Structure 1
Amino acid sequence: METQMGQRHVVSALEQGIKVLFCLRKAGREGLGISHIAKAVGLHRSRVLYILNTFALYGLVTRDSKSKRYRLGPGILPLSRKVLDDLDIRALASPLLKEVATNLNGTALLGLVDGDYLLIVERERSPLGIGMDIKLGHRFHITAGAHGKALFFHLEEEQRRRLIDAKRLYFFGPVACSMSKDLENQLLEARQKGFGIDKGEMAMGVKAVAAPIFHLDQRVYGALIVYGGFEEEFLEEVGQYILKKASQLESSIWGLTFSTGGVDE
């Protein structure tokens, strides 16, 4: 049935389905249960189940048979790839990076995941010249410094295991380190906070903070990074700011301006 909202004509059933997809977009790797989704989008559980079953037919969602939780499925990838093909990521990111660089007096970078590396595709320098001179096209190792700490436990398990076994971990500088319980706890804490911090291990006197950017299906897409001469007592505050800006950039990339408010059936 079509309804009218303001000057727009909206297909209610389709709108409800889109809200379910956007709700799953915010789920972690563990997924979401039907009750959680139903409450978030304001629909009855049975209605949500019908929607999820329909999406599952096309591979847009998957269901874990043990936990009975849902997450976005591989069928979403061809759609997201088409979006990326048509996007000018640098143009989207540039205003936000300029804002970050100006507000924090640092060098703001956007890096995209490229296998075991992070490729820098856009950069904005501080108006005061504070930060690091990172060239466009530079490739950092995926585990290097702040972004390595922010991204590591969002990587696929196979990739994490391979990097650990090969002892290719560069969280604290150019000399590779081994995984330890203390390091694992630090990385898990970074995942929980949503950002990673480098206190000058990568470059003496220059600190860095990074937050991940995700694909629609929650795979890691890239990272927002800022380098600067931040005082150590303000690093957590900088981290919260970068986490917020990474979320804004993510929303710009995927066009996620949709509200998941309640809908009457």
Structure 2
Amino acid sequence: MEKGHWALPESSFKTSVPAVEQASRVLLCLAESSQSNMRLTDICDHLGISKSKGHAILNTLKQFELIDKDPKTKTYSLGPALIFLSQRVLENLSYPEVVTPFLENLVKETNGTAAFGLISELHVFVIAKRDGNQNIGFRLPIGHKFHITLGAHGKAIVAFMDEAERAKLLAKKKLYFYGDSSRMDLQRLAEDIAKCQSVGFALDQGDVTPAGITALSAPVFAIRKRMVGCVILLGPFDASKVQEYGSKTAQAAKQISRKLGAHVDAIFPT
């Protein structure tokens, strides 16, 4: 079997503790597996380690309930101790603290206004923002509330919903992807969704934003592919910069998602 993403590089021992690194990679291997349980052979092949070493690591992790072993199938899965650890991480998580460095970098690269919107039912709340030097024509204060379907962020969010959730949202009477609900166009939206799924970001140019202002947005995920919010970038960008800045917006969303525990390679286009 081909070695996986978490296979051990030969040079890794020079800068880390081998035993800790190996145990960490075993846990990550189990977490990223498409199967809920894995055999010893599959784990060892995926990581490029011997069965004896893999068995020793798994037994040690089992002592601390970091993994479970099914005595019937002799397969391994993540253990209950990780629930406690993940709960403590979530308890200490502050979205503004996590996202602000990435927003600052996005502003530095584009000189636009960058914001993070947190999804709450049918709305998106701005909970973090950094301003560039360009006038976007309107205020975007912390705490501002948008409808979840509005403009660029609406298209970005709906594009990455699962099909059932998307269908439920699109069945609502009033949708604001193109500003006023009377301007809703399902065919146009389908095309915009397909493009967003391909490039990783959505845009609005004049439907919701003031004339001359472009809005770019990409979704943000946490653990278990749970969509939690979106990155929004606004500015009077030249047409030649839209694709570049859209990609930067998508990259910022991907970096934030990774920080929040999402397996980004399984969510975003490569």
Normalised TM-score (structure 2): 0.69
**Unmatched tracts of structure 2, length 5 or more:** 1-11, 55-68, 264-270
Q: Whole-Å Cα distance in 1 between the matches of residues 234 and 85 of structure 2?
A: 34
Counterparts of 1:87 and 1:56, CA distance in 2: 22
Q: What are the superposed Cα offsets for residues 52-77 of structure 1, whole Å, 9 maximum, x if unpaired?
A: 9532776x9xxxxxxxxxxxxxx97x
Q: 2:76 aligns with which of 35, 39, 54?
A: 54
RMSD (Å), alpha carbons: 3.8
Paired amino acid for 1:248: Q
Q: 1:106 to 1:91 in 2, by over 3 A?
A: same
- Letter in structure 1 aligned against 2:28: K
Give runs of aligned pairs for residues 178-197 of structure 1, distance below 5 A: 178=184, 180-197=186-203
Q: Distance in 1 between matches of 2:98 and 2:21?
A: 31
1:218 deviates by 1.2
Q: Over residues 223-258 of structure 1, what are the superposed CA-to-partner deviations in whole Å (9 max), with x where a residue is unaligned?
A: 1110111122321111111111222222334499xx
Report if the CA contact (8 A) 2:137-2:210 is conserved: no
5+ long unaligned stretches in structure 1: 25-30, 61-74, 257-265
Larger-Rg structure: 2
What is the aligned counterpart of 2:118 among 112, 115, 134?
112
Q: Which whole-Å CA distance do the structure 2 matches of 1:255 and 1:82 have between them?
A: 17
Residue equivalent to 1:220: 227
Aligned mates of 2:149, 2:75 — CA distance in 1 = 38
Runs of 4+ displaced beyond 6 Å? 37-40
Query: Structure 1 stretch 155-164 or stretch 183-192: which is displaced more?
Result: 155-164
Residue of 165, 173, 187 corresponding to 1:167: 173
Counterparts of 1:207 and 1:113 in 2: how far apart (Å)? 21
SS in structure 1 at match of 2:76: helix
AA aligned opposite 2:246:
G
Deviation for aligned residue 1:82: 3.9
Q: Does 1:20 align with 2:29?
A: yes
How many aligned residue pairs are there? 228
Structure-2 separation of matches of 1:176 and 1:217:
36
Q: Name 1:259's counterpart in structure 2.
A: none
Distance 1:95 1:11 in 2: 29
